[in-house]
Amino acid sequence: MHRYKGHAVRKNVAVEHADESRSAADPWTAAFDAACLARSAAATEMVPFWVYPEVTDTAKHSLILREVPALPLSKDALRRQQLQRTLGAYRMVFGQPRQEDLVEYLLGDLDDAGLERMRDAAAINLEPPR
């Protein structure tokens, strides 16, 4: 999930622009000002406030992982896959699919060409106009 000046974005901006922000009264404003000046002409308002390139391995985006404990050789793994697929379809009907669930659901039914057609048809550009 990307949030305005989210944790991963701030970590990357801080690593990249620490020198510019050390002596400033407001270090975050100075760091983001420096990040704005450093971005390329092709960049939009998404960079640096919503996404920022990963500078180091320590500043990677944080992910939320769902772990399901299962005993080896049990039917739990198969049941989890069935439940995950059903949940993806259920949430899709109500217009609230989680991105990961939706992608896993589509990967089970579509080949590569079908996925590309689906991506091209459903892609929405959320970048603000220039």
The rounded percent of the chain whose pLDDT value lies above 90 is: 2
Instruction: Give the Cα-Cα-Cα angle 30, 54, 40 (nearest 5 degrees).
Output: 60
What is the three-class DSSP state of 51?
A: coil
CA distance linking residue 1 with residue 8, whole number of Å: 10
For 64, other C-beta atoms within 10 Å of its C-beta total 6
pLDDT in tens, 68-80: 787 888 888 788 8
Residues 6+ apart with CB under 8 A from 68: 76, 80
pTM: 0.45
pLDDT in tens, 12-63: 888 888 888 888 899 998 988 888 887 766 566 777 777 777 765 655 555 5
Supply the DSSP symbol for 60: P
